Amino acid sequence: MNIIISPIFNQFFSGRVWMGIDYHLIKSELEAKYNAKVTVISFEKLKESLHEIEQNAVLFYSSVYNAEYLRFIQDTIKYIAIKRPDIILIPDENQLNSLDNKGYQELYKDLLGIENVAGKYYGDIDEVIRENNLIFPFVLKQLKGALSSGVQLIKNEQELVNFRRQVKKKSLKERAAYGLNKRNSFKKDSNLSPVTHLLEQNFEDVFSKRVPVVVQKFVPELECDYKVLVFGDKYFVVRRGIRENDFRASGSGKLQWETPPNEVLDYAENLMRKFKVPFISLDIGIDKENQCYLFEFQGTAFGPATLTAGDKFFQKINNVWQKTEGKFNLEQEYVYAINHFINENS
């Protein structure tokens, strides 16, 4: 088993900025427990080191929430996937593209046939305004944000218009930059005899402030959701109560490490079969009819508190969910998940 561990800025990020993974411990655990050959290569040097990486190696790399550097990571991983398709990527491209991007999550859910909860990705809030078949209430999400930030319940057309007005509002700096850009564009192109009305319209279309969003079906009367962290075949779960006079559970602080309904565990297991990843974070809701819904997921850089603050995990043995109690080490669970994934796919 040949594994490349690739940190970013000499760190392996996990959740909030002060959280992280000790990749040196992961390296030593993989070597000691599974006799793996592990090499550490910083992400910035991956491209120039590709020729040194053995065939069918596993690349376990970090990711970040910095938008500009995340683009570099995505571009580099795309390059590696094309240049060296034999390399097993952890996380895979789809999980990487889903990081801090609720829009791509909806596209990927559709590709995998995950229908609940139903959602649609729009390139701009104005496209939602123009929809003729909206069913109120619905959940409106901006693409970025954690702990329910950028998530609102839209109950009627007026609330939608108000949301649009709020997110489209330009700062003084944005308005000044827009006006200067427009003036310079018109002046610069004057010698090309531009078609005035097209120049005006196209400038407006191209440089208007765009706010991409996701519209999700609203599931009423939920009392909680479940944060499920999956590492291999181990399921770590925390129940998150809904906020007072709200519909959101993420960020509520109402946490209970209790035994979840079997339907939640079964649903999470079914999702893992679809995602085919070594580890993942799932936000799952369940209604009074025991219908489960996937609200969001994250396959990289997710917060570990469900595991590190919890005292149990669940594992299906002989088709029955069994509970194992104790305190668990994050790095050891990553090691377990990576080895489990390699064995399942070898």
Of 12-21, 46-55, 107-116, the range with the lowest mean pLDDT is 12-21
- Greater pLDDT, 253 or 89: 89
Mean pLDDT calculated for residue range 40-44: 96
pLDDT of the residue at 257: 95
pLDDT of the residue at 209: 86
Is the per-residue pLDDT at 250 higher than 90? Answer: no
147: left (phi over 0), alpha (psi -120 to 50) or beta: left
* % of the chain at pLDDT higher than 90: 76
Cβ atoms 73, 91 nearer than 8 A: no
Q: What's the burial of 81, exposed, middle or buried (CB within 10 Å: 0-12/13-18/19+)?
A: middle
The pLDDT confidence band at residue 289, using thresholds 50, 70 and 90, is very high
Residues 53 and 260: their CA atoms lie apart, in Å, by: 42
Sheet holding 213-217, edge to edge: 119-122, 213-217, 138-142, 151-154
In the predicted model, what is the mean pLDDT of the chain?
92
Of 77-81, 196-200, 276-280, 302-306, the range with the lowest mean pLDDT is 196-200
Of 49-58, 245-254, 312-321, the range with the lowest mean pLDDT is 245-254
State pLDDT tens for residues 163-189: 999 998 888 887 787 778 777 776 666
State pLDDT tens for residues 140-164: 999 987 666 789 999 999 999 999 9
State pLDDT tens for residues 7-36: 999 888 876 666 789 999 999 999 999 999
The pLDDT confidence band at residue 191, using thresholds 50, 70 and 90, is low
